[in-house]
Amino acid sequence: MYMKILVETSARHVHVTKEDLEKLFGQGYELTVKKELSQPGQYASNERVTVVGPKKALPNVSILGPVRSATQVELSLTDARSIGIVAPVRESGDIAGSAGCKLVGPAGEVEISEGVIAAKRHVHMTPEDAEKAGVKDKDIVKVATGNEGRKVVFDDVVIRVSEKFATAMHIDTDESNAAGGPNSGEILR
């Protein structure tokens, strides 16, 4: 079954634990909301850090909130290579054995031994939309998207279903640029 969905570009960002947030910004520090994101309860914060790799640093990288149980850095493969990191393509949260880096904030720094990934392209779906599309959690699908002259069919797209989600596909900046910055797509089985 075909289903039209929103396609969003997920730019480089960091998720932090409460402990790491305090090391970076100071004891008792709390993230402040800059902009609500499409996924309920998620937001881009006003806080930014520098991500440091073996070759160079990426300054001014946004922290997404709320705080999480593990610190994680999501980069495009181009970003990762530019700073000298080999980032595996993984689902968010699957950081075991991934690359590490240093994060620098205004009050201190944090060295993470793992947590740098290139996020696997995925579609967040409500249970109702998943049923309409005939898919279930962890299914792998294709999604057709792109603008005139840049149409692309993304393969190996994982479906993630939860009542906590809003239906939208997330791709990184490399993928978005390849497809001409799409804002909609169609799930193909």
Question: Does one domain contain both 152 and 107?
Answer: no
The answer, yes or no, to whether residue 8 has pLDDT greater than 60, is: yes
Residues 22 and 113 occupy one common structural domain: yes
* Residues 57 and 99 grouped into a single domain: yes
Range of the domain at 73: 11-119
What is each CA distance from 102 to 116, 119, 153, in whole angstroms? 10, 19, 35
Within this chain, do residues 127 and 93 fall inside the same structural domain, yes or no? no
With 80 as the cut, is the pLDDT of residue 181 above it? yes
Mean pLDDT of all residues in 173-182: 91
Q: Are residues 115 and 149 in the same domain?
A: no
Beta bridge partners, 6, equal 184
Whole-number pLDDT of residue 188 = 87
pLDDT, one tens digit per residue, over 27-68 is: 999 999 999 999 999 999 999 999 999 999 999 999 999 999
Q: State how far the Cα of 140 lies from the Cα of 45, in Å rounded to an integer.
A: 31
| Whether 159 contacts 138, CB under 8 Å | yes
Q: Are 21 and 113 found together in one domain?
A: yes
What total number of domains does the chain contain?
2
| Mean pLDDT of the residues in the chain | 96
What CATH number did the domain enclosing 147 receive?
2.40.40.20
Which of 102, 119, 136 finishes a domain? 119
Final residue before a domain boundary, out of 119, 135, 153: 119
- Same domain membership, residue 82 and residue 28: yes
- Identify whether residues 23 and 107 lie together within a single domain: yes
What is the per-residue pLDDT across 94-108, written as a single tens digit (0 to 9) for each? 999 999 999 999 999
What whole-number distance in Å separates Cα of residue 62 and Cα of residue 151? 29
Residues 126, 93 within the same domain: no
Same domain (yes/no): 29, 96: yes
- Counting residues of the chain whose pLDDT is more than 90, the rounded percentage is 92
Q: What is the pLDDT of residue 1?
A: 55
Distance CA(174)–CA(184), nearest Å, equals 16
Q: What pLDDT was estimated at residue 148?
A: 83
Is 140 in the same domain as 69? no
pLDDT confidence tier of residue 93, bands split at 50, 70 and 90:
very high
